Amino acid sequence: MSEPWLIHFFQRHMEDDLARSTPTIDFLDGLPDKVAAEIQAVLEAVAVAPPPSFSGGGKWEAMHDEMAGFYEVRVQGGGANHRLFCLLERNADDLGGSSVICLDGLTKPVRSAASPRDYRRVRQYADEFRKRRTVYGQPDR
């Protein structure tokens, strides 16, 4: 059995955001407790599986097209769809091992598409992460 992957929350670097915001934590804090708990449960199941072999049952999906290389946790609740966008980092020694990097989330009406602006923001955060490798709980590098 392989080791579980680690779960990290991307934190913006002070050169990109003086407040050093953590978009995923901000997103989760704004959700109903039940929805946030379900997202956390999916993340933990993915980490234990680990991600390359996790069968998501619609709650963990690889994204396509302009978002290829990203994964999303998909949860419904409160009459809306909630999405948490993630990257997978294999053998990330600087992060303590293979990791799921949670970048940001969004809530949208059921059966509606996410805004291109939301996807641009997620890709921007991924670029910031790849450049600076900053995650919550670790000092800026």
Extents of the domains making up the chain: 6-132
**Predicted pLDDT of residue 141:** 62
How far apart, in whole angstroms, are the C-alpha atoms of residue 104 and residue 122?
Answer: 6
pLDDT at 84: 98
Per-residue tens of pLDDT for the chain, all 141 residues: 678 999 999 999 999 999 999 999 999 999 999 999 999 999 999 999 988 778 778 999 999 999 999 999 999 998 999 999 999 999 999 999 999 999 999 999 999 999 999 999 999 999 999 999 999 988 666
To which CATH superfamily is domain 6-132 assigned?
A: RelE-like (3.30.2310.20)
20: left (phi over 0), alpha (psi -120 to 50) or beta: left
At residue 51, the pLDDT reads 84
Contact 81, 108 (CB under 8 A): yes
Question: What is the Cα–Cα distance from 117 to 1, expressed in whole angstroms?
Answer: 40
Phi/psi for 120 (5° steps) reads: -60, -40
Whole-number pLDDT of residue 2: 77
